[in-house]
Chain A
Amino acid sequence: NAGVTQTPKFQVLKTGQSMTLQCAQDMNHEYMSWYRQDPGMGLRLIHYSVGAGITDQGEVPNGYNVSRSTTEDFPLRLLSAAPSQTSVYFCASSYSGLRPREKLFFGSGTQLSVL
Chain B
Amino acid sequence: AQTVTQSQPEMSVQEAETVTLSCTYDTSENNYYLFWYKQPPSRQMILVIRQEAYKQQNATENRFSVNFQKAAKSFSLKISDSQLGDTAMYFCAFMKLTQGGSEKLVFGKGTKLTVNP
A residues 40-64 in Cβ contact with B at 8 Å: 40-45, 48, 50, 56, 58-59
Closest to B1 in A: A59
Closest to B91 in A: A42
A residues 62-115 in Cβ contact with B at 8 Å: 88, 90, 92, 96-100, 103-104, 106, 108-109
Name the interface size band of chain B.
Answer: 20 to 34
Interface residues, chain B, CB within 8 Å of chain A? Answer: 4, 9, 33, 35, 42-45, 47, 50, 52, 91, 95, 97, 100-105, 107-110
The answer, yes or no, to whether A25 is at the interface (CB within 8 Å) is no
Given known A45-B104, A98-B104, contact A106–B109 (CB-CB < 8 A): no
A88 touches B9 (CB 8 A): no
Chain A residues with Cβ below 8 Å from B108 are: 42
Chain B residues with Cβ below 8 Å from A100 are: 33, 35, 50, 52, 95, 97, 102
Chain B residues with Cβ below 8 Å from A50 are: 101, 103
B104 touches A48 (CB 8 A): yes
Closest to A111 in B: B43
Name the interface size band of chain A.
Answer: 20 to 34
Chain B residues with Cβ below 8 Å from A40 are: 9, 109-110
B103 touches A98 (CB 8 A): yes
A33 touches B50 (CB 8 A): no
B105 touches A98 (CB 8 A): yes
B101 touches A96 (CB 8 A): yes
Q: 8 closest pairs, A vs B, by CB?
A: A97-B101, A100-B33, A42-B107, A106-B45, A43-B107, A45-B104, A42-B109, A109-B43
